[in-house]
Amino acid sequence: MNNPLLEPFEQAPFSHIQPSDYLPAIEELIAQTHGEINQIVRNEDTPSFENTIEALAYSGAQLNRATDIFFNLNSAETNETIQKLAQEISPMLADFKNDLLLNEALFERVKTVYDQRAQLSLTPEQNMLLEKQYKGFSRNGANLSEANKTKLRKIDQELSKFSLTFGEHVLADTQAYQMHLTDETQLKGLPEGAKEAAAQTAQEKGKDGWVITLDYPSYIPFMKYAQNRELRKELALAFGARGFQKNENNNEDVILQIVQLRHQRAQLLGYQTHAHFVLAERMAKTPETVTEFLNELLEKAHPAAQQEFDELEAYAKEKDGIDRLEKWDGAYYAEQLKQEKFDLDDEKLKPYFQLEKVIAGVFKVAQKLYGLQFDETNSVDTYHPEVRTYNVTDAEGFEVALFYADFHPRPGKRNGAWMTSYKPQQRIHGKNERPHISIVCNFTKPTASKPSLLTFNEVTTLFHEFGHALHGILANTTYPNLSGTNVYWDFVELPSQILENWCYEQDTLALFATHYETGEIIPQQYVNKIKESAAFHEGMQTLRQLSFGLLDMAWHGQDPSGIADVKAFEDAAFENTQLYPKTPETCMSTAFSHIFQGGYSAGYYSYKWAEVLDADAFEYFKQEGIFNKEVATQFKDQVLSQGGTKDPMELYISFRGKEPNPEALLRRAGLLKKSS
């Protein structure tokens, strides 16, 4: 049987893979990897770094590549068949992971090397690999009794299934809803581009008029611009009710199962809670540190947020007689107020942010900072015609990476934006194998009359994901499991968030922000206004992010066995960050994919944590010049290329010369003066 996933391949062979190939290939590759592990275990030579630790780091390469392809497709191009397969494949992989981590003979070999580490003259990277592998076993049940190992296996199997189910429910509820409008007056206030996109969506669905969906490029403009308050309310409630309706996609019980299982797992492994387990391997180290960090920021941000909210409520009352500002009013009146204050709105800016030019701009930034060249190629196999591919080379013309980009929403693609990898960077057999990196986004689609024109928020999202991509592209380590974004979770957002800063700089905007029809460079007054408005409602934005971090810690930082009502629990967690009136029909947790489907459980705080790092790091760039080659080379050599080879704070200090100063974030957000 010819199965492309079982043949050696350099680039992912998307067009040759049938859905029916995945299950047999992954079963076979699991068996092959078991064989590789058995070879390590049965080696009669004394356990050494090379024959145990290194051999383990390079094992399962083909299995990892096949599963990366499968799970990336399950996010970016899924269907019922793929989703059913995921429900079969995930428990198999959970089992396999446990076979590895609970293998006593293998752990014995790892422990033998670990116990001798002081005598081995290892490099810092080798030391980090050894420590990571030893902890991987000890933190995941290697020291458990047989009975508890069996319990752990069962928990991990169930968790993998519930996590997939959670994501499927959110996607199903997102796609089940559509607001079909046939009266043009209902679209009053909506920009022409958004109306045209809604008409195009209706046409695609075989309907007259306009269709608004819960996909971000459709949902956000409607919430921002539509004058019809009742329709905004309907849309906001539908968005907030994903996973919370009385239908087959309800996630309330799924959440309770997930948090219970995570807690049981942590306790089994000797940790107080899931948060204690997770944070032991983060920069923050403990739940207490995280909670203190979030509450300290909350104390600084809350007065500013309250002030901004009161001003917005007064503005809505004066403008339209709104007595009580509701959640479905926030984006609309904030946009109106922002336009009045700064004479600036997305519709004025969008013509200067044509997707093609923004892509060229972000590539130009990478070239100026790191000497990278991106050349589009049509010879790379992709999973969808919309996916674009680029060969990445350095200033000398040497291959650095292969880069995939997938920009627009479509059925079968989950909301949001993310970076992922199809092949890791590693040094093996004397060769530095270069990575295959991908970003996936959901940006405004082109219409019949206009190219894809981005909101400024979409521009910063593209820079954010591209920052993650650079972390992968510039990876330069020996071992695949220390390469690129394989770093502590609260450090992983530094490369992405720091790149967003360039979007606010005149020197950057001059590279790509030209009018799609006239070619005129973005006017200086718009650049000034973008910078002026950067801190607009920063208090409320900060409060929102902190509320998500605190909710995450509430779910994972305590014994959840007493929680019976998801909504009531969430309301209590939001108590100190609540500005808008409560809406009983909606629930954040039931669609909080970051923590219940992605990898952010007990880690959502890391966005704010990394913001402290990125604000401090960017102050250094600003001081020396945002395209200063010396500073950029330091950032590349000390942070981007190093992956997880050293402790993150060590990497940061070697770049910056000191620990980060939290006041840099407060300065940038304009919260120092507001809260003092």
What are the residue numbers of the active site? 465
Q: How far is CA 78 from CA 69, 86, 105, 413, 485, in A?
A: 12, 10, 39, 6, 24
* Buried b or exposed e, range 132-147, using 16+ CB within 10 angstroms: bbbebbbbbbbbbeee
User: What is the residue whose two structure tokens read 């003066």?
Assistant: 673
Query: Which residues are bridge partners to 433 per DSSP?
Result: 426
For the chain, report the end-to-end CA distance as a whole number of angstroms.
70
Q: Which two tokens stand for residue 131?
A: 């420590």
Give the chain's length. 676
- For 390, the token pair is 């680029």
The answer to whether 129 touches 57, Cβ cutoff 8 Å, is: yes
Q: With residue 179 as reference, give the H or E element that holds it.
A: strand 179-181
Q: What is the dihedral of CA 127, 132, 137, 138, to 10 degrees?
A: 80
d(CA 575, CA 24): 50
Q: At what angle do helices 538-556 and 606-624 cross, to 10 degrees?
A: 140
DSSP alpha helices (H): ranges in 177-228?
192-204, 216-225
- Helical H segments across 575-642, by residue range: 593-596, 606-624, 629-635
What one-character-per-residue DSSP string does 377-427 give? Answer: ES-S--SSTT-EEEEEE-TTS-EEEEEEEE-S--TT--SS-EEEEEE--EE
| Cα–Cα distance for residue pair 52/470, rounded to 1 Å | 31
Angle between helices 287-320 and 327-342 (to 10 degrees): 70
357/218 Cα distance (integer angstroms): 22
* CB-based contact 465:418 (threshold 8 Å): yes
Sequence-distant (≥ 6) Cβ neighbours of residue 608 within 8 angstroms: 293, 294, 297, 542, 545, 546, 549
Rounded Cα gap, residues 35 and 31, in angstroms: 6
Strand partners, 421: 437
Residues 6+ apart with CB under 8 A from 279: 285, 286, 287, 289, 290, 602
Residue type, 486: N
Distances (CA, A) of 324 to 232, 241, 309, 317, 330: 15, 21, 11, 8, 11
Q: Is 493 helix (H, G, I), strand (E, B) or coil?
A: coil
The residue type at 401: A
| φ/ψ (deg, to 5) at 310 | -60, -40
Phi-psi region of 206 (alpha: psi -120 to 50; beta: other; left: phi over 0): left
The count of other CB atoms within 10 Å of the CB of residue 177 is 17
